Amino acid sequence: MPDKKLIKSDLTKILFFGDVSGTLGRQGIKKMAPLWKEKYQADIIIANVENLAHNKGLTLKTMAEMAEAGVEMFTGGNHIWKKYEIEKMAKETDYKIAAPANDSRCPEKYLFQITEVNGAKLAVINLNGRTFMEHETTLSNPFIKIDKLLSQIPKNTNIIIDMHAEATSDKRAMGLYLDGRVSVVLGTHTHIPTADAQILEKGTGYLTDIGMVGAYPSVLGIKQEIIIEKFLTESRIRHDLPTTGQIEVNAVLLEIDNHSHKTTDIKLLREIISPTG
């Protein structure tokens, strides 16, 4: 017997932007988030904001810019603690931030976020990989942590995991480990979009890295000449971000079945734009 044709109320469509990096990244979100939401009829916008304020951390001002652009849920990473005290953010605002849950510095309020979208519960969890990652002393095993967290998520919930990791093996292993247990596993942190958007064997959507929203061309959103000089001299050099020029915008468009909580479609979106045109 053929499957019943899904209607809009059976699905949740999600637009998830990769690491938003600095001024140009924020401009990219302001321009493309509303356009893509309308074009693809997305029900909710999510973004990784660990690089929001000059590539490291976030501030009240930069978070307000993202909320005004239509971003409703946020994920973090190893740099989310850099600018504004995350404990203070938790006490003073109601932003739905999922910070790295396996980081001992994560406030309880930010261990995960749950909201209702299109009549279905949606949970967002952020984890930090440990391979080649700084702050390894504050990070517990993300594979053990996710098992504990999933036991706290209500049944019949769409679940998105942002696996913020340096090593592709961390991300891939997490995707396979959670296949059939969560709706989707998305990688962030390396700022380079990967070409492996797929639905795994048991129905979990997967992408190794969404990529970033930031300066183009650049290295991780940082001025290219600075990073090239760093490699040439093998020295520590202060990072600086372009504030003018083109912007690369990378996001993933997800479609999740509200009944099975599995991914029915996953597509990488990428566009190079100018801030004004």
Q: What is the model's pLDDT at position 7?
A: 55
Angstrom distance (rounded) from CA 115 to CA 56: 27
The reply to whether 39 falls in a domain is: yes
The reply to whether 224 falls in a domain is: no
Angstrom distance (rounded) from CA 39 to CA 36: 5
Q: What angle do CA 99, 105, 106 make, to 5 degrees?
A: 30
Mean pLDDT value of segment 20-41: 97
The reply to whether 49 falls in a domain is: yes
Q: How confident is the model at residue 2 (pLDDT cuts 50, 70, 90)?
A: very low
Lowest mean pLDDT among 19-23, 137-141, 260-264: 137-141
CATH of the domain at 151: 3.60.21.10
Mean pLDDT of the residues in the chain: 93
Is 261 noted as a catalytic residue in this protein?
no
231 or 2: which leads in pLDDT: 231
Q: What is the model's pLDDT at position 5?
A: 56
The reply to whether 221 falls in a domain is: no
Percent of the chain beyond pLDDT 90?
82
Q: What angle do CA 270, 77, 116 make, to 5 degrees?
A: 75
pLDDT digits (tens, 9 = 90+) for 187-213: 999 999 999 999 999 999 999 999 999
Angstrom distance (rounded) from CA 122 to CA 66: 20
Task: Assess whether pLDDT exceeds 70 at residue 136.
Answer: no
The model carries a pTM of: 0.94
Task: Assess whether pLDDT exceeds 50 at residue 258.
Answer: yes
Q: What is the model's pLDDT at position 1?
A: 39
Domain that holds residue 32: 12-216+244-273
Q: What is the model's pLDDT at position 276?
A: 64
The reply to whether 223 falls in a domain is: no
Total number of domains in the chain:
1
Q: What is the model's pLDDT at position 249?
A: 98
pLDDT digits (tens, 9 = 90+) for 175-192: 999 999 999 999 999 999
- Please tell me which residue in 54, 79, 164, 191 is annotated as part of the active site: 79
The reply to whether 6 falls in a domain is: no
The reply to whether 193 falls in a domain is: yes
pLDDT digits (tens, 9 = 90+) for 88-133: 899 999 999 999 999 999 999 999 999 999 999 999 999 999 998 8
Q: Are 174 and 127 in contact (CB under 8 A)?
A: yes
Structure tokens at 149: 């967290």
